[in-house]
């Protein structure tokens, strides 16, 4: 639901949308073996059909879906608010990542809505401190920077985790939260 134009300036607001802006279109990978390699158990015709037709359809549909996300986000109020309050999506992403990396020990990096000012703001909360209770901001997006969220995969390299987390953010949910708190 993000458009190319939104992503050229923001590069990501989805990942689901975080990575959609920086990701190239998906392509059907080659099989590492010939279609007939599994015969007599699975014949070449079945393998060719599943790979070149079914798998290819899934890949093509994924590309279509990601393009729709780009288009929707470009038109969305959340992206416009991010551009207004941070200058661009890239600047927002950089600032939230920096704040999240900077949390000492355990805590959260947040995108919140300041209802009094009608603006988006970034904040960090330590340990289990709630965003709204400590800052007055309404939570829109929280990034868990407790080590349990990333240590098994990223060890103690929090910046690598924060780079990857943008690929899995549920932007539909963040947008719904933003629209609800504006009412």
Of 30, 33, 9, give the one whose Cα is nearest residue 21: 9
**Residue among 63, 59, 66 nearest 6 (CA):** 66
What's the rounded Cα separation, in Å, for the pair 26 and 180? 34
Closest CA relative to residue 110, chosen from 134, 84, 90, 88: 134
Instruction: Name the binding residues for Mn(2+).
Output: 50, 144, 148
Number of H helices, E strands in the chain: 9, 3
Neighbours of 183 (CB within 10 A): 4
> Which residue positions form the known binding site?
50, 144, 148
């Amino acid at each position: 639901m993000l458009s190319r134009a939104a992503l050229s300036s923001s590069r990501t607001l989805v990942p689901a949308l975080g990575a959609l802006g920086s990701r190239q279109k998906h392509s059907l990978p080659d099989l590492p073996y010939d279609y007939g390699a599994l015969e007599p158990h699975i014949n070449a015709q079945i393998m060719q059909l599943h790979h070149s037709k079914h798998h290819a359809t899934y890949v093509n549909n994924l590309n279509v879906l990601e393009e729709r996300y780009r288009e929707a986000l470009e038109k969305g109020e959340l992206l416009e608010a991010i551009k207004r309050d941070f200058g661009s999506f890239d600047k927002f992403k950089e600032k939230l990542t920096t704040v999240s990396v900077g949390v000492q020990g355990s805590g959260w990096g947040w995108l919140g809505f300041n209802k009094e000012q009608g603006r988006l703001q970034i904040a960090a909360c330590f340990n289990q401190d709630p965003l709204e209770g400590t800052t007055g901001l309404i939570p829109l997006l929280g990034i868990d920077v407790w080590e349990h969220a990333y240590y098994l995969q990223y060890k103690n390299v929090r910046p690598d985790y924060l780079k990857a987390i943008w690929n899995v953010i549920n932007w539909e949910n963040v947008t719904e939260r933003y629209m609800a708190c504006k009412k």
